[in-house]
Chain A
Amino acid sequence: MTDQQVVAHPDAAVSAEFTELASDERIAKAAAALERNGIRPLLAATGADARGLVGSLLVDGAEVYNNTSQTLQAIGVADDIERSGRYRPLRLRLYRMDREMQRRELRILAASPDYVVGSVHALTEGGSLLIASASGSQLGPLVSGAGQVILVIGAQKIVGDVATGMRRIYEYCYPLEDARARRAYGVPSGVNNVLIINKVMAPGRVTAIIVKERLGF
């Protein structure tokens, strides 16, 4: 969802705390910290600019997996990946495979795309990234399986530290994601897995695009 479509959270106080757009100073602080941690930061003024940046980073013909992400859907990146014809979208390929007879192929394909594109639930001013996942399937590629990682992060997700980031996940993101999962899949969600990326050892592998708009949860 865009800046104009902030999701209604059941707790107004929680919502106020975790939807506030970070100041330019905090954005710069987080970006500098990311860079020190081995993550390349890029800045985008708008979701449209971020979409363009993602397009410039992806190589035509590459296998791309777009993580389940309100951010990516809101700015059109999910469309670009799945429908443009420029890439080999793994979601479509996985969807057509037989869950029983091609179980092993599914696991292998999903685990190591050329590119994974997604977002995070929190970015700390110290340059740590926090991502929660119910199934966990999207975390392995982020941390090691994918060749390249591109993350689009609305600036409302910047928090002071890891503890606040965890609180953002449990208090703000989880109720919204739970409601979404119930609508989409008919089952509840859960903070079943949490990935915290502090530093990235492989140079150039992870790019974080910080967007000066409220995007996603």
Chain B
Amino acid sequence: MSDRITPMSMFDYDARPVTPGVVLVGTRASRGAYAIRDFLSRNGYPFEWVDAERPDAVAAVLGAADVEPSALPLCILPDGSRLASATVEQVAAGLGMVAAPSRSVYDLAIVGAGPAGLAAAVNAASEGLRTVVVEAVAPGGQAGTTSMIENLLGFPDGISGSELATRATVQARRFGAELLLARPLVDVSADGPGYVAELSDGTLVLGRAVLFASGVEWRRLDVPGVDDLLGAGVYYGAGPSEALACTGSRVVVVGGGNSAGQAVVRFSRYAQQVTLLVRGRDLGASMSQYLIDHVTAIPNVEVRVRTQMVSLEADDRLRAVIVGSGDSPEPVRLPADALFICIGGAPRTDGAAGIGLVTNPAGYLVTGSDVARWPGSDWPLPREPLPLETNLPGVFAAGDVRYGSVKRCAAAIGEGSMAVALVHRRLAEVGGD
């Protein structure tokens, strides 16, 4: 036996799944392949990424070096079956992640499985309410993609967003809450005193009360070329599935908040260089101080304040970003292999558009005492709207999607928890079963 010891993390040595996961074959410029990588990563499903432009890697998994471009992205499921031109919906179904609701009616239907939604699910189910959560992608929401949340009460060493989502999901299920994943909400309509939520695959969920905890989606960056390169070097959010792929790359992150800061920290461990572009004068306007201290101390990170994206340079994929700075009259070209856009959120209320929910001009759901003084709310009951209740009796909102909420994970958890007490009052009001 050799006297030499090969240094290796004990977790890399031992703690890998021994059963086959998903194998995904595709090109890095493929938007569809990115969507599947993002879905699997956010759902914590182990997968092997095989670059279709590497014949040796393709041959190792398919037995042949060539694969029809039209078949990409190609997904091999753990049972050995193959999905050509795979979509997220097909992969989710193939992995058994698309469950049907077990009940014909629920006391509470929650839209969104981020911190607010999962907090509501835990509290509602633990108090005996028949609870279902519908979620378009994966538990965790925006917080779930954050590599570390360091200021959440009870976690002195911090907790990753994915771990928080995992624990909360286990907790909610333990109390009997159901989670219907991988299908976005497309419509909500009134049904007596309750509401029917329709999912993208036609699944209908009837809730005697509804809680919108759908959070925000990344605000779009209005720069030419961004949409063309989505998934092909340009990504919205922190891209948890892309960190390893950025090894040795030049990464640019746009945004001044905590999500952008955590993305910088994560990518700095893999990338050759990370550049953070911030439109404001400094990082203090939106980023927590502990994160500012961390980001500014990393050697391969450059922070450019008073800087805006002007345009992109690309051929089949991103090659550089062109930025304008308050300090320089001339645009500056920054070589870049990947661009991650984390510039804040737009409320995700698509599925509620048709039901008449009142929102502020930016799209956030109006609730509580704000309802009465909001034009067009037409509150129908003698009582006042409950806190967190929208202009539709029995429809509540919590977390980032709500107008006036504090955009922090802890605040979202608080609102989701709090909403359950209000749901109880609504259910008592309408009676029945």
Contact = CB atoms under 8 A, between A and B. Distances in A.
A212 interface: no
Interface string B155-175: 001011011001000100010
B11 A110 contact: yes
B362 interface: no
Interface residues of A, number: 45
A38 interface: no
Contacts of A68: 14, 18
Contact of A98 (B2, B157, B160, B174): B160
B116 to A, nearest CB: 23
Given A85-B96, A105-B159, A192-B5, A95 B16 contact: yes
A112 interface: no
B10 A135 contact: yes
A64 to B, nearest CB: 13
Interface footprint category on B: 35 or more
Interface string A61-88: 1000011100011000011001101001
Contact of A104 (B13, B78, B157): B157
Contacts of A104: 157
Contact of A110 (B1, B12, B15): B15
Given A190-B2, A192-B5, A83 B78 contact: yes
Interface in B27-65: 41, 44-46
B13 A185 contact: yes
A4 interface: no
A183 B148 CA distance: 34
Given A110-B11, A135-B13, A97 B162 contact: yes
Given A82-B19, A105-B163, A138 B147 contact: no
Contacts of B46: 92, 95-96
From A85, A95, A138, A188, residue with most partner B Cβ within 10 Å: A95
Contacts of A102: 148, 160, 163
B9 interface: yes
A194 to B, nearest CB: 13
Interface in A118-146: 134-138
B160 A188 contact: no
A99 B147 contact: no
Given A101-B148, A190-B1, A82 B6 contact: no
Given A68-B14, A94-B15, A137-B10, 4 more contacts: A101-B147, A102-B163, A138-B14, A191-B1
